[in-house]
Chain A
Amino acid sequence: EAEVAQSPRYKITEKSQAVAFWCDPISGHATLYWYRQILGQGPELLVQFQDESVVDDSQLPKDRFSAERLKGVDSTLKIQPAELGDSAMYLCASSPTTSSGYEQYFGPGTRLTVT
Chain B
Amino acid sequence: AQSVAQPEDQVNVAEGNPLTVKCTYSVSGNPYLFWYVQYPNRGLQFLLKYITGDNLVKGSYGFEAEFNKSQTSFHLKKPSALVSDSALYFCAVRVGYNTDKLIFGTGTRLQVFP
Contacts and interface: CB of A to CB of B under 8 A. Distances in A.
Contacts of A101: 32, 49, 51, 94
B46 A105 contact: yes
Interface of A: 4, 6, 31, 33, 40-45, 48, 55-56, 91, 93, 95, 98-109, 111
Given A91-B44, A103-B46, A55 B106 contact: no
What interface size band does chain B fall in? 20 to 34
A7 to B, nearest CB: 13
Most buried by A among B34, B90, B102, B106: B102
Contact of A109 (B43, B46, B49, B97): B43
Interface of B: 4, 32, 34, 36, 41-46, 49, 51, 90, 92, 94, 96-107
A103 B34 contact: yes
Contacts of B41: 108-109, 111
